[in-house]
């Protein structure tokens, strides 16, 4: 599934009314409900907050990407909200947010895999194809990264900014293998800028 295939104009709101994190999340969840992406706002919000407790979803540059896997999701989608005012949020750079990208993903394995692809894989692959580059790009959860590193011939590893705290842990594992490692730029990750993320990977490989 391509990222562009889930962007629905009906789930984009450029003038959010909420002034708090809770209000804007409920506002966006309600939009998802009204457009048949979820079946229950309260259940969906409960799962979103469960993910929020695991770590910051504010990735910096006034952008947040709240997400979580929920049984209340009927079909994968995304609600995008923009506000002129800065909403207080737990973020990597200590600032609030003005742009919120709320993912609706089912709690099955297929949903989890699609979620990872939506966050990083698809646009990087398209950027590589545009450059005529042969690249095997794959996205995995941090918990599955060790298995992938053992089973695949990896040239570079990029971490999502929300797992920046694991950088030293992976650096120790990758150093003996000579595999370069970095954290994806916060803005590029939030805006799914596959071309810039691919450039970041290339620079590491060519060092």
Catalytic residues: 67
SS3 category, 103: strand
Residue 67: C-alpha distances to residues 43, 45, 149, 155, 162 (Å): 13, 10, 26, 29, 12
Antiparallel, parallel or unpaired: β 77-87 and 97-104: antiparallel
Q: 36: left (phi > 0), else alpha (psi -120 to 50), else beta?
A: left
CB 163 within 8 A of CB 176: no
């Amino acid at each position: 599934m391509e990222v562009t295939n889930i962007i629905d104009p009906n789930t984009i709101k450029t003038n959010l009314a909420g002034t708090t994190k809770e209000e804007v999340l409920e506002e966006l969840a309600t939009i998802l409900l009204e457009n048949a992406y979820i079946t229950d706002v309260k259940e969906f919000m409960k799962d979103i907050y469960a993910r929020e407790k695991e770590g910051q979803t504010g990735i910096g540059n006034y952008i947040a990407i709240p997400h979580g896997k929920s049984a209340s999701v009927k079909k994968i989608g995304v609600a995008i909200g923009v506000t002129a005012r800065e909403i207080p949020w737990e973020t990597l750079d200590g600032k609030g947010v003005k742009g919120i990208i709320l993912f609706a993903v089912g709690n099955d394995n297929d949903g989890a895999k699609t979620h990872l692809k939506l966050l990083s894989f698809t646009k990087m692959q398209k950027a590589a194809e545009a450059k005529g580059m042969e690249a095997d790009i794959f996205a995995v959860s941090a918990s599955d990264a060790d298995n992938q590193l053992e089973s695949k011939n990896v040239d570079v590893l990029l971490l999502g900014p929300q797992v920046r705290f694991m950088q030293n842990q992976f650096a120790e594992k990758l150093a003996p293998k000579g595999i370069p490692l970095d954290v994806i730029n916060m803005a590029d990750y939030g805006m799914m800028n596959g071309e810039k993320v691919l450039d970041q990977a290339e620079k590491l490989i060519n060092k």
